[in-house]
Every structure is written in structure tokens, then in C-alpha cells.
Structure 1
Amino acid sequence: MIAIARNHLSSLFINPNPFLCNSNVLSFSTRRVQTLIPNPEICDLLINKLRFSPESASLASSRFPKLRDPQRADSVLSFLKENSFTTAQLQKLVIYDPRILGFTIEGIKSRLKVFQDLGLSSEEIAKMISSNKRILQSSIANKIIPNLSLLKGLLGSNDDVARLLKRLSWFVRHDLEKTLIPNVEILKRCGIPMEHILHLLYGLPRAFVVKSDIMRKSVDKAIEFGVPRTSVVFIYAVCLFHSTSQGMWEAKLQTLRDLGFSDDDALAMFRKQPTVFRASGNKMKSKIELLLGTGKYGVASIVANPVALGYNIEKRLEPRMQILRLLESRNLIETWPGLSLFASCTDYMFFDKFIRPYYDKIGEECIIKKFVAGKKELKV
């Protein structure tokens, strides 16, 4: 299996571009406007109630000539404000589609109730709808309610559905029956534990809305690479195959070769921590060069602990290196910690082990003061 995977490292990735999509959000500055007469009363309403500029208000009121009922528009805006929609959120909704001003209160109320029944607060619903404006256009009976039922059947409770929608409201309008459900079944048939599937659903949900044949190919490749199916990293490997082209993978592989890594090393790193391969080749190179440049961590250390490549240079790796160099220069430590401890321990753990015991001697050093100041939870 190792030989097969190694021989095909440069050819197994696909690039279906599943996450590329066209935005349908309309903009006043880009939409072609016909010669229509603005409604003065609607204009005044948008200017006074939503702080529109006169030009934007005029354009909004002229885009839909049937929008001629300022009383209804005022009622709609007042009702939404009563339900925790802010002025900024309402501006977004009206800019996206001024027809909202012609909606009935009952229609909006029934739409909000669907989400209230999940346990979402009015503020959460307002945030969800304003960030995913197509929810107002999606059919309650044919799209929203069926999708919510599918999600509840998968996740188990209204609370879990609400938790997902707070982060990813677009699930409400996506065709889950053709994407999410078949893709979950593909993973389950491969023996992937349901807890791992749900872990990815919350963490990288767009991995589930690709076409089923793409999911199937990605799963097959992760298996061929030898990533353990019982490990949560299998799911992340599958997700990586969704979005990494053969050319991108080859560039990263060549970067590793140039830095002294073998193809076996790359394969071992991928199996342990596929997420680090999401970074660009340049970012990966910068982190590896930084670690190798210490003289404390070599290729073998990085292969054994690829998780270190997932951390930020400026916020974690470099500050810790500076502190260890300072301790070493003062003969306060004889050896540096292993790469896993160095990179993965929390800031509090690092402080407790490498700063607190020596604080009286090095506490005035600039790097120490800066490190402590940047971590408010740390107590000297």
C-alpha cells in the first residue's frame, strides 16, 4: 500500500472546484436599471428609516414599479425592527431585494416562527437572515422545512440544528437531499464513525455539498493513501482532496523535496496531519525553514510532529523560539523541548514551564514582557 501511494503522490489529487460559486447578490452599482420613476414616499421612508442616501433610495424604489405601498413598506420595516433586525441588517436586505418591502407581515411572521421553533433567539434569526438573504426568498414548504427535517434527522435534535444554523445558515436553502445525505451515506458505508462525520459537518461543512461522485473519489484516494479510516484525520484528508488540484499538490511535494524531505516523509506527514497541506507551498516552506533554522528540530522531528506546521509563525512559533534562545543564552535551560511540546502546548503551559520559573531573572526582557502582555490570562 505504501509503495502504491508513494508512486501516485503526484497524480491522485483532483480539482473539481466544488466551492466555486457565483454570488447572486444584487448591487445598486452593478445592476442595469431601466428608466423607471421612483416612488417619493418609498424614497423618504428609506432615507428616514434606514438612512439610505437619496440616490440609493431613489434607485431602490424605482427597481420594482409595483412597489407602490409605502404604508406596507413601513409596516414591514417596523415589524422587522421589533424582531431585532438592526438598521444595518435591514439595509442589506433591501439592497439585496427591495421586494421585501412588499411582503406581508403574516408571511414574514410564519417564516420567523420556523426558526423560533428551533430555539433560536430573535437576534440570532436576524443575524442569520441578514447574512444569508436568500432565506427570505426560499419556499418554506418546499425548501426550508424539508431541509430542517433532514438536518434534525441527521443531527438528532432542534438544539443541534440551531447550533449548526448559527454558523452556517446556507444549509437551509441548499439541496441537502442530493448532496449532504448521499455524502453522509458514502462515508458511513466506508466505516467512518458517525461522530467523525458530524465533527466534519460542524468544522468543514462545505465538504458535504459536493457532488456524490467527487466525495466517492476523494474517499477512495484517502483510503489509497493509507489514512486510517477510524481516525478523525481521515475526514480532513477527504476534504483536502475536494479542493486541492494535482498541480497544487505537486508544488507542495516539490517544496518538501527541496527542503530535504522524501516522498515517504510527505506521505507520513499527510497521514498524521492532512490539514497542514491546506496551506500554500510558500507558507509551508516558511515554517519548515524557521524550524530547521533553529538547529534544534530536523526533518525527522517535523515528520513525526507535522502538527507544528499548523501554527502561526508570528503569534506562536517565533515568540517561543525567542524565549527559548534567551533562556539558553542565560544557561537557564540545557535543551529545548521536543517539537510536539514546543508547538502544541497552550500559552499558559508554555508560560508555566519556560517563563514562570525564571521570571525574576528575565522578566524585564522585552520579549518576555511582550509575551505576557499579549496573553491576558497569564498571571506572573
Structure 2
Amino acid sequence: MWRIGSVRLVLADRGSWNIHLLIAPNTPPIKKFFSSKSFVLEDSNNRSIDCAPKIDTLSSKKVQNTELVKTLLRNYGFTNTQISKLVDVDPNILFCNPQKTILPKLEFFRSIGLSSNDIPRVICASYCQALLSRSLENQLIPCYNFLKSVLFLDQNVIKMLKHSPRVLLFNVEKILAPNIATLREAGVPQSVISFTMYRSPSTLFHESHKFKEGVNKAIEMGFNPQRSIFAHAVQVLCDMRESTFERKKEVYGRWGLSNDEILLAFRSHPMCMNLSEEKIMETMDFLVNRMGWQAAVVARCPVVLFFNLERRIIPRCTVVKILLTKELVKKDLRLTTFLIPREEVFLDRFVNKYQDDVPGLKNIYLRKMGLVEPRLGSKI
């Protein structure tokens, strides 16, 4: 036996007892108490009573239940890694009744069309391990029925669940239904509502009053509720504090942009307000100070700010600057013309096409991308 600690227990009319916990060696510290094979009650005369049988019986039942839960989950496609994730978030899942608590929910997910691969992914998705602990009758089924009433078809709901399974955790009456009603009252068509639920479902998880404020602000800023970009605007306005939004406007304003020009950029690409201050400043510095484009020109196509500076913007701008210097392309060339196209399209239009006019142009481009080592003495 191994004694790891003792507690003195005083019993009326029976004297005092020392309780010693007996634990096998090499047992993980956190699980020692629950892994104990026995404990002993010992009186002052060193008489002891081994209480192992009761503990062993209890432990045996827990072990059996744990194995039943794991087996059930494996039968529905869960890997050992996925099961471990569930247990880490909710250890009690191993001790619940698998037939009454877990099986009905797994069967529900299967009945709506989720495959054996989809079920574990949906349940183990970030923040969604709590799905198995939610009430089937009071939460999961009502939420699914509401989603179907909005999206109409089972496959549409399944598509949404794969993208954002968290939706099943939210209160239909207090959050989802009021927010959908707000969109409809604002004249948002079904196509944009569906787009919102597929592409930015987290927007719908905000409290109804905050969501309504975001919708009203988007309309005041000139966004058309009939277009899908309206959904992105609402997402930004709901997710971002007003003070943060004003601070991002101030960052853009450092480049001489007026309030109208900043709002024009926001209306063109709402997510430009989600860019970090560092990203905005570095990209604007390169395009304005090093390449010579006006800040207002960049603001009219803010999508270019999202591209990787080292891997996309600098290499492509370097090539275009050489072509401009040699007057091989128009001076009024738009940023979107050469920054947005796919890699193979850019190579065809701006590199391969001018290889004879500018020998080594492709090597210059590849070196800027870090794909070719610069040669000794190279100036570029």
C-alpha cells in the first residue's frame, strides 16, 4: 500500500480515526483521488478497516459507463482525438446515460442529413462541444425548425450548420427570430438573408437591440439592403465598437483622406475597417510614398489593402514600376488591374508579354517574391 496523506476524523462516542488515502505509484496527480483503489480507516490503536469494496464497485460502474459512452461516440464516427476534445471541455459527458442523453441527439443529427463524417465535425467545432449537453426538445429541435423556416430546405440548414454549428446554441425567441425580423423590416430580401446566414452567421448572434442599431447605421451610411454587401456592413458595425470604428477612420485620415473618402472606401469594402492599424499604415506607405499613387486612388479600391505586402504587392508593383519607367504600360493604370488578377494572369499580362523588352523581368519578379536568390551585385 502507498499512503499519500491522512485526515483525522472524530466520531461521537467512538473515539477518533485517522483516514489514510492509499494510491498506486505513478498515478497522474490530478486523477489520483479518483483513481484510488482503496482507503483505510485507522483508530488510535492502529486497528484498520479497508473500505476498498465500496470504492471498487463505484469505480467499476464509472469505468463501464465511460466505455459505453466512448463506444457509442465511435459508432457515430468520432475518433479518439475528437472524443478527448469533448471530454476536455465537458468531463461529465463520460458519466451521463449514453442511451438517454447522447444517443437521441446523435440520432437527431443523423435524421436531418448529417453524415457520419459531418456529425463529429459539427459537434467538435470550436465552441460547440456543448451541443451534446443542450436539451434536444427545448433547444436543438426548435432551433433547427426555425432555421428551416428561414432557409426552407434541409440541405440549406445542413450547409449552414457545417459553416457555423454555433447557431444551434442560441436562443431562437430572444436572438435569432428578432434579428431575422429586423432584416425583413428593413427590406432585406430572402437572398441576402440567406447570404448573411451562410457567410456571416455570427452577425445574427448579437443581442437584438445591438443588431438593430447595426442595421439602421448601415442604411444611414448609404448601404443598399437589397445587396449582399449590406450584410458585411452590418457585420462590421455590430462586431466593432463605435470608438474602434472612429479610431480606424482616424488611421485612414492620416493619409489626407476626407471623411467622405473614408466612408466611400467603407461602402466599397466594409471589411477594410477590420484591418489592423499596422497593416493599413504599411500598405498605404508603400503604395503612396514609394509607388506614388494618391491616397484617394487607393481608397477607391480598398480591396488592395488586404493583399500580402511582401508576397503580392511589392513584387507586382516592382514589375509595373519598371514597365511604367519604360513607358510600356499606361500611366493611368489602375491598381486593381494588376493586383487583383490571379498569379498566372498577372504573369501573362505583365511579365511574359514584356520579356523581350525587359530581359530578366521574370527573374526580378521572382526574386521579389523570394523564389529566386538574388545574384551578386544585383541592384534590384
Residue 89 of structure 2 corresponds to residue 96 of structure 1: yes
CA contact (8 A) 1:276 1:307 kept: yes
Evaluate the alpha carbon distance shift between residue 199 and residue 58 of structure 1 in structure 2; reply closer, same or farther with a 3 A threshold: farther
* Cα deviation digits, residues 302-353 of structure 1 (max 9, x gap): 2322222233323322222233235456765464731122232222321221
**Aligned partner (choices 113, 116, 119) of residue 110 of structure 2:** 116
Residue 167 of structure 2 corresponds to residue 186 of structure 1: no
CA contact (8 A) 1:324 1:336 kept: no
Amino acid at match of 2:28: P
Count residues in correspondence.
Answer: 327
Cross-structure match for 2:198: 202
From the CA coordinates, give the structure whose radius of gyration is larger: 2
Evaluate the alpha carbon distance shift between residue 185 and residue 322 of structure 1 in structure 2; reply closer, same or farther with a 3 A threshold: same
Residue 356 of structure 2 corresponds to residue 365 of structure 1: no
Amino acid at match of 2:278: N
1:138 to partner: Cα distance: 0.4
CA contact (8 A) 2:215 2:234 kept: yes
Evaluate the alpha carbon distance shift between residue 363 and residue 161 of structure 1 in structure 2; reply closer, same or farther with a 3 A threshold: same
Amino acid at match of 2:149: G
1:371 to partner: Cα distance: 5.2
Amino acid at match of 1:97: D
Evaluate the alpha carbon distance shift between residue 80 and residue 365 of structure 1 in structure 2; reply closer, same or farther with a 3 A threshold: same
1:117 to partner: Cα distance: 1.7
Residue 237 of structure 2 corresponds to residue 237 of structure 1: no
**Aligned partner (choices 126, 131, 145) of residue 120 of structure 2:** 126
CA distance in 1, matches of 2:34, 2:280: 47
1:228 to partner: Cα distance: 2.5
CA contact (8 A) 1:38 1:59 kept: no
TM-score (norm 2): 0.76
Matches of residues 160-309 of structure 1 in structure 2 within 5 Å? 160-309=156-305
Amino acid at match of 2:115: S
CA contact (8 A) 1:363 1:369 kept: no
CA distance in 2, matches of 1:38, 1:357: 81
Residue 341 of structure 2 corresponds to residue 345 of structure 1: yes
- Higher RCO structure, 1 or 2 (CA under 8 Å, sep 6+): 1
* Cα deviation digits, residues 53-87 of structure 1 (max 9, x gap): 8345547769xx97743222212212222322111
CA distance in 2, matches of 1:370, 1:268: 32
CA distance in 2, matches of 1:338, 1:220: 34
Evaluate the alpha carbon distance shift between residue 60 and residue 150 of structure 1 in structure 2; reply closer, same or farther with a 3 A threshold: farther
Residue 19 of structure 2 corresponds to residue 54 of structure 1: no
Query: Greater share of strand residues, 1 or 2?
Result: 2
* Cα deviation digits, residues 91-123 of structure 1 (max 9, x gap): 122222232223334232221111112221212
CA contact (8 A) 2:269 2:302 kept: yes
Evaluate the alpha carbon distance shift between residue 165 and residue 69 of structure 1 in structure 2; reply closer, same or farther with a 3 A threshold: same
Pairwise CA RMSD of aligned residues? 3.1
Evaluate the alpha carbon distance shift between residue 284 and residue 363 of structure 1 in structure 2; reply closer, same or farther with a 3 A threshold: closer
CA distance in 1, matches of 2:310, 2:22: 53
CA contact (8 A) 1:60 1:95 kept: no
Amino acid at match of 2:97: T
CA contact (8 A) 1:61 1:98 kept: no
Cross-structure match for 1:26: none
Evaluate the alpha carbon distance shift between residue 39 and residue 154 of structure 1 in structure 2; reply closer, same or farther with a 3 A threshold: farther
1:146 to partner: Cα distance: 0.8
Matches of residues 318-357 of structure 1 in structure 2 within 5 Å? 318-328=314-324, 333=329, 335=331, 337-357=333-353
CA contact (8 A) 1:362 1:368 kept: no
CA contact (8 A) 1:240 1:278 kept: yes
Evaluate the alpha carbon distance shift between residue 362 and residue 95 of structure 1 in structure 2; reply closer, same or farther with a 3 A threshold: same
1:208 to partner: Cα distance: 0.6
